[in-house]
Amino acid sequence: DVKVTQSSRYLVKRTGEKVFLECVQDMDHENMFWYRQDPGLGLRLIYFSYDVKMKEKGDIPEGYSVSREKKERFSLILESASTNQTSMYLCASSVTGYNSPLHFGNGTRLTVT
């Protein structure tokens, strides 16, 4: 079974802090994704990566950056956290292909105060 592990389940940070969200997958998947989940808005793609050191912007990249130094690890970085970044963050991975399902982690609920 594919396992996608997000390092923190809950996180509370202060406005202006630099925040790192970590995600690791154990199935050698090429693609990794970061989504943000907000009530009524579904999941919105922040960034994705299709290979080591490669990244592409999703629908809402502003205020975020990412890092993928190893195939199994994909980090989401909030350079200067703001209260409007309080949300649930979901990491996912997949093999390449339009019909390849995503495998999700359990999410990190981030609160910025």
Partner 1 sequence: AQSVTQLGSHVSVSEGALVLLRCNYSSSVPPYLFWYVQYPNQGLQLLLKYTTGATLVKGINGFEAEFKKSETSFHLTKPSAHMSDAAEYFCAVSGDNAGNMLTFGGGTRLMVKP
**By C-beta, is 16 or 101 nearer to partner 1?**
101
Instruction: Tell me the closest approach of the beta carbon of residue 99 to partner 1, in angstroms.
Output: 4
Instruction: Tell me the closest approach of the beta carbon of residue 58 to partner 1, in angstroms.
Output: 7
**Contact (CB, 8 A) for 106 and 89:** no
What burial class does residue 58 get, using C-beta atoms within 10 Å of its C-beta: 0-12 exposed, 13-18 middle, 19+ buried? middle
Residue 55 per-residue DSSP state: -
Task: Give me the residues that bind partner 1 (CB under 8 A), please.
Answer: 4, 31, 33, 35, 40-45, 48, 50, 56, 58, 90, 92, 94, 96-102, 104-107
CB atoms within 10 A of CB 96: 10
Residue 84 per-residue DSSP state: G
**By C-beta, is 17 or 107 nearer to partner 1?**
107
Instruction: Tell me the closest approach of the beta carbon of residue 24 to partner 1, in angstroms.
Output: 14
HSE-up (13 A, CA, CB side) for residue 112: 18
Question: Beta partners for 87?
Answer: 110
**By C-beta, is 75 or 108 nearer to partner 1?**
108
**By C-beta, is 5 or 86 nearer to partner 1?**
5
Instruction: Tell me the closest approach of the beta carbon of residue 56 to partner 1, in angstroms.
Output: 7
